[in-house]
Amino acid sequence: MRNIEEKLTAVQWLRNEFIKLETSVVVHGVMYELLDRAEEIEKDIVKGAHVSGFTDKLIPEEYYNRNYGKQ
């Protein structure tokens, strides 16, 4: 059986870590707004990669480097 963390996106994992910290550290509401926005961005990236795979025929690493590599 796969570890539950393996099924989470990076942003989902980070949200879970913030929730754990809420009980011991003050986590401001704005952090959750930022996480919501990060999840939207992440979805757009995944959708773009999916479409690019059909149109550009790039391997995943090439897609990442072309679009998100060193800036």
* pLDDT tens-place string over residues 40-56: 888 888 777 767 666 77
One DSSP character per residue, 27-70 reads: --HHHHHHHHHHHHHHHHHHHHHHHHHHHT---HHHHHHHHHS-
> What per-residue confidence (pLDDT) applies to 4?
57
> What per-residue confidence (pLDDT) applies to 47?
79
pLDDT tens, 2-40? 565 667 888 888 888 888 887 777 767 778 888 899 988
Q: Is the pTM of this model over 0.85?
A: no
> What per-residue confidence (pLDDT) applies to 1?
37
